[in-house]
Structure 1
């Protein structure tokens, strides 16, 4: 990941640089996560026609239909989304808040999930909840980002914030890690290698055990 980041720095066009770094994260997850999910990007929508903002990386169950468009951009059924990841070259307070609005746009969707099937569950993550993460190649200190997160509303707070050069922030809900102190919203993992390892472990646990979601597909029919 560090090598890809260094190579991508040769690009001077901001949009192109961002696309390259997003693709690097997508490729890594595609190659390393369990094969039960597809790794795409695009907009997520529900049966009411409500759509999220553009999502950099979306992990989608392969048992759910796809609506692919050009250049790997999909229109994605909310019912099949397991996780979303916003990718940032440099993460600051304002950028984190902007990412939070994108997360909120996904959380506001209403899937038609009737039930789920999971195998070998070894975690406490709810089978119908979409995990939201922000991954950055650098930026403000984790302590600064932690302070910003404390000021954000519940629906805009990501579950994970991974800085590939600094470490990881984990939402302190008792779902991904045991609750540590009732007053802090996030648990700080102040080591990039350990943070990256935990980030991949969380995604592996969730994507590797969620086998199927039962969806009321007829709910997508127009009334």
Structure 2
């Protein structure tokens, strides 16, 4: 399949997502509509992810007892464990097993973004034990202290990129933490907002190291290809990562067994 064919197919998928989201509005109940729109994003993701990554929803916990808020979409490495809760979609998720989270919004206003950033901040503070391996092209990095869980936002519509960028910048300044900025924001019919990557960018045989001095946000207005741009960034971030030598003793303390 050529690049042009892929682009056209993603436009069809984006149009189908937008149409299905509009149909979901017919429930007349905001909570039900929101849940249906989350499921639409999950249905889009499942066939487009590598086989070792599955989509779940639920709460993420770490070995220190901290936990995230309820997450709409969680990308989980299937080679690592989770705790079953009797559902095919929801689970109690161990921080080491989680690669990324995606918050799904019907309309991403500046106020909604502030609330989402609070949730992101809670997720990125979770402790992960083990070694994180990044492997892409000629680059291999082994991080004895893993980076935070990757975080993304997908919205069917939203405020202007200028407004959203300003909201993220203010929140990062107030918390003195550029890490709370989402890795990417997709507004389905408007474009994407991309955060500067924390890992090396590989372009053929060239490797560009990230700037750790500051977090940059780049807006790309795209009324037709926002979904493809978002997917490309997501896969580019997620595929090179895996956790090794994880230590799960903190979750299963023998001293507390009865």
**Residue in 2 that maps onto 1:189:** 220
Are 1:98 and 2:118 counterparts?
no
Superposed displacement of residue 152, structure 1: 1.1
**Residue in 1 that maps onto 2:98:** 81
Question: Could you give the per-residue CA deviations for residues 153-191 of structure 1, whole angstroms, max 9, x where no partner exists?
Answer: 2243211111001110011356487789x9883101111
**Residue in 1 that maps onto 2:3:** none
Gap change, CA 1:5 and 1:119, over 3 Å in 2: same
Larger Rg: 2
Question: Could you give the per-residue CA deviations for residues 95-143 of structure 1, whole angstroms, max 9, x where no partner exists?
Answer: 001000111111111111235374657799x874421111111121122
Gap change, CA 1:10 and 1:61, over 3 Å in 2: same
**Residue in 1 that maps onto 2:60:** 44
Q: Which segment is superposed worse, 8-17 or 196-205?
A: 196-205
Contact preservation (8 Å) 1:138, 1:164: yes
Matched pairs, number: 221
**Residue in 1 that maps onto 2:185:** 161
Q: Please give the secondary structure, in 2, of the residue aligned with 1:152.
A: helix
Q: Which segment is superposed worse, 206-215 or 155-164?
A: 206-215
Q: Please give the secondary structure, in 2, of the residue aligned with 1:221.
A: coil
TM-score, normalised relative to structure 1: 0.87
Contact preservation (8 Å) 1:122, 1:205: no
Q: How far apart, CA to CA, are the structure 1 residues paired with 2:82 and 2:225? A: 34
Q: Please give the secondary structure, in 2, of the residue aligned with 1:9.
A: helix
Q: Please give the secondary structure, in 2, of the residue aligned with 1:146.
A: helix
Gap change, CA 1:155 and 1:174, over 3 Å in 2: closer
Which blocks of at least 5 consecutive residues in structure 2 are unaligned?
1-16, 173-177, 202-207
Q: Please give the secondary structure, in 2, of the residue aligned with 1:112.
A: coil
Contact preservation (8 Å) 1:33, 1:207: no
Are 1:67 and 2:80 counterparts?
no
**Alignment RMSD:** 2.7
**Residue in 2 that maps onto 1:148:** 167
Are 1:209 and 2:225 counterparts?
no
Q: Which segment is superposed worse, 130-139 or 151-160?
A: 151-160
Higher RCO, Cα 8 Å, sep 6+: 1
Q: How far apart, CA to CA, are the structure 2 residues paired with 1:123 and 1:103? A: 27
**Residue in 1 that maps onto 2:72:** 56
Gap change, CA 1:123 and 1:99, over 3 Å in 2: farther
Question: Could you give the per-residue CA deviations for residues 43-99 of structure 1, whole angstroms, max 9, x where no partner exists?
Answer: 101111111111111001001112132452211000011110110001111100100
Contact preservation (8 Å) 1:43, 1:51: yes
Which blocks of at least 5 consecutive residues in structure 1 are unaligned?
none
Q: How far apart, CA to CA, are the structure 2 residues paired with 1:89 and 1:82? A: 24
